[in-house]
Structure 1
Amino acid sequence: MKSTIILYSTREGQTHKIAQFMAEQIGNDSCELVDLHQADDLDLSLYSNIIIGASIRYGHFNKKLYQFIEQHKEHLTSEGASFYSVNLTARKPGKDTPEGSVYIQKFLKRSPWQPKHIGVFAGGLYYPRYSWFDRVMIRFIMSMTDGETDTSKEVEYTDWGKVTLFTQRFTGSLTK
């Protein structure tokens, strides 16, 4: 049995990439990755350590995240589960902390679960992969926030050192 599970909700794959990075640090043999959108029948009692990661799109987490939390809130609370958010706003200093992230503040008000540890990581900007509508909208948002607007570019803003620190903080609290 694997003792740690990392659940993730991703749009373009960066949240999954971060989950894979964490799993490698924790040890792939003891860590399982599960897409939150495929976790309807998941038995969380099989895991003693839980991390959930979710990305922001147009200012919101996917509703599946809140459904999962509602279904498993007692277990998430009793096991001291951790949470990380991935968004492009976190590319800016001050917006990359739980206190400085408007998305985390809204999440904490809306969610019946209060995570033990919270990480906020910048995501990736993948213009060529987006639909025409998303490319136009994200370019507009980026222009308003002094971000990259060249739609031929892909830019990864994730600070992997920060992900490492979050994972180390999480593993320091693992139950043995």
Structure 2
Amino acid sequence: MSNTLIAYSTDKGQTLKICNKIKAQLESCGEVVSLHNLAEGDVDLARFDKILIGASIKHGKHAHRVFKFIKEKQPLLEQKPSGFFSVSLVARKPGKDTAETNPYMQAFLKRITWTPDFMEVFGGMVDYQRYNFFDRHIIRFIMRITKGPTNLDACIEYTDWDKVDRFSQRVANY
């Protein structure tokens, strides 16, 4: 039985929702799973057998705390099975929906020296009603450019839950 950590950084909650789905899948395979919000401080990685990091994109970037966590914990991340997944609206688009083709994942990998054992990207969620004034209009502008939904009443989840299940199974089998 593996003791697995899922450390995450989320802005509006879709990454946490994905983490909870992965957690449930891993637990159904007999793993003990703990969630840790990177915004809530440090966590001792030594007590875990596997480590996953999930992070959302906000305004084109992963949160600084994700890079800080990886830099500080890299020796332990390299000693154990570990992985990373990214959540963004860009991942909703064919051709940008894999770790190899997603521009945010590729930018992320260029900024770190750690090589995750498993990686994935998941589509996020657009929910204009949950955004503050500034974010609502920035995201709407980006959606207009990328041919996404611009109706300010739109609430669309782009997460492919079957893909989340397949990723969870890969992690469980590792």
Give the Cα separation in 2 of the matches to 1:165 and 1:115. Answer: 17
- Deviation, 1:126, is 1.1
Which amino acid is 1:14 matched to? Q
SS at match of 2:115: coil
Where does residue 167 of structure 1 map in the other structure?
168
- Deviation, 1:121, is 0.2
What are the ranges of 5 or more consecutive residues in structure 2 without an aligned counterpart?
none
Give the Cα separation in 2 of the matches to 1:106 and 1:77. Answer: 20
What is the root-mean-square deviation of aligned Cα atoms in Å?
Answer: 1.4
Which amino acid is 2:15 matched to? T
- Deviation, 1:2, is 7.2
**1:4 equivalent in alignment to 2:13:** no
- Deviation, 1:165, is 0.5
Which amino acid is 2:94 matched to? P
- Deviation, 1:78, is 1.2
Which residue of the other structure, out of 16, 28, 32, is the alignment partner of 1:30?
A: 32
Which amino acid is 2:7 matched to? L
Give the Cα separation in 1 of the matches to 2:126 and 2:148. Answer: 10
**1:107 equivalent in alignment to 2:108:** yes
Which amino acid is 2:165 matched to? T
- Deviation, 1:39, is 3.3
Which amino acid is 1:38 matched to? E
Identity among equivalent pairs (%): 44
SS at match of 2:126: strand
Question: With structure 2 as the length reference, what TM-score do the two structures score?
Answer: 0.95
SS at match of 2:98: coil
Give the Cα separation in 2 of the matches to 1:77 and 1:96. Answer: 26
Give the Cα separation in 1 of the matches to 2:26 and 2:100. Answer: 26
Alignment of 1:19-168 (within 5 A): 19-27=19-27, 30-40=32-42, 42-168=43-169
SS at match of 1:27: helix
- Deviation, 1:89, is 0.4
What are the ranges of 5 or more consecutive residues in structure 1 without an aligned counterpart?
none
- Deviation, 1:80, is 2.5
Give the Cα separation in 1 of the matches to 2:47 and 2:103. Answer: 33
Kept after mapping to 2: 8 A contact 1:9/1:55: yes
Give the Cα separation in 1 of the matches to 2:49 and 2:73. Answer: 14
SS at match of 2:168: helix
Residue-by-residue CA offset, 1:35-91 (whole Å, 9 max, x unaligned): 011132x11000001110000011100000000001000111111211000000000
Kept after mapping to 2: 8 A contact 1:84/1:120: yes
